[in-house]
A = this chain, B = another copy of it.
């Protein structure tokens, strides 16, 4: 079941299929110990986006031996996305906005660079402008009624918090985490330090506080003519905030589709962010509470929650007539094949 919290996205996307684009990238923010859980260790977070991309496209990872996991061993949400899209005849594309590790599968090169630690500037102006421009060109060349865009960028909720704060929103207190224990204090220190040194000019400020993925997603949405479904959690609120700065009118054709776990997360508030920004918000009301797998039931305790477009891909599947039960069964099949591999 799909639930509209803001706007009527579920009606506008009903029965419409379009390409799913996973935008990947890295930021050195994820190397700060304790800030990201999108990898078994800070160093391994650098492999997560490439491995997610490989898993989505082929069902296997190449840059690492198995799928990305949290430090607790909970596997990547890429498995939800792969399972959800398996019901649908939709093209899957990987766009690399700037990653320290390239996936060993075909990917769209946005000619970007990995993001640096935002305390000292995430993206230089020319890098940010380049990623934005390349995203726009890609978006212009994707012709469809609708596109879904997901993200994989460890450390991404921290850069999202920084961008949101830099644009005047309540950042750190509202963004989520892939851990049930959202490391707010640490995020706040990083964001505060980044803000202290950030330039005043809007675009330079955004680049300084951002990772490459936020910029690329915004660029693709700007270039695309049609409905853009930002498939993710609070990071997509940061994208929406960027879009609002660059082209306010665009927001009417954009919505965020996320998971129930993000909506139920007491450590973040995507609803309040989306409302303040003025963007449509919808979520997939799918539960893993009854799953026979610990690694999936963990989502109900706040592990992982979202990523790799999990929420949006479930929404696309549900909006095409797939039931929640079928969806969970398929996700369990993918999960089971993973742990038996």
A277 in the interface (beta carbon within 8 A): no
A19: chain B residues at CB < 8 Å are 91
A110 closest partner in B (C-beta): B106
Once A92-B141, A143-B89 are accepted as A-B contacts, the answer to whether A134 and B108 lie under 8 Å apart by CB is no
Proximity bits, A134-168, B CB within 8 Å = 1, else 0: 11011011111000000000000000000000000
A102: chain B residues at CB < 8 Å are 109, 111
A111 to B141, CA, bound (A): 22
Contact A95 B106 (CB under 8 A): yes
A107 to B58, CA, bound (A): 20
Once A91-B142, A144-B89 are accepted as A-B contacts, the answer to whether A106 and B108 lie under 8 Å apart by CB is yes
Once A57-B137, A58-B137, A137-B58 are accepted as A-B contacts, the answer to whether A144 and B108 lie under 8 Å apart by CB is no
A19 closest partner in B (C-beta): B91
A40 in the interface (beta carbon within 8 A): no
Contact A105 B91 (CB under 8 A): no
Which of A88-118 touch B at CB < 8 Å?
A: 88-93, 95-96, 102, 104-111
A93: chain B residues at CB < 8 Å are 93, 108, 141
A88: chain B residues at CB < 8 Å are 143
A58: chain B residues at CB < 8 Å are 137, 140
A144: chain B residues at CB < 8 Å are 89, 91
Contact A57 B141 (CB under 8 A): yes
A137 to chain B, nearest CB (A): 5
Contact B143 A106 (CB under 8 A): no
A106 to B137, CA, bound (A): 7
Contact B105 A137 (CB under 8 A): yes
A141: chain B residues at CB < 8 Å are 57, 91-93, 106
A57: chain B residues at CB < 8 Å are 137, 140-141
A144 to B18, CA, bound (A): 10
A18 closest partner in B (C-beta): B91
A138: chain B residues at CB < 8 Å are 106
Contact B111 A134 (CB under 8 A): no
Please list the residues of chain A having a beta carbon within 8 angstroms of any beta carbon in chain B. 19, 57-58, 88-93, 95-96, 102, 104-111, 134-135, 137-138, 140-144
A-B contact pairs, 14 of them (CB 8 A): A57-B137, A89-B143, A91-B141, A91-B142, A91-B144, A93-B108, A93-B141, A96-B109, A105-B137, A106-B109, A106-B134, A106-B135, A106-B138, A109-B109
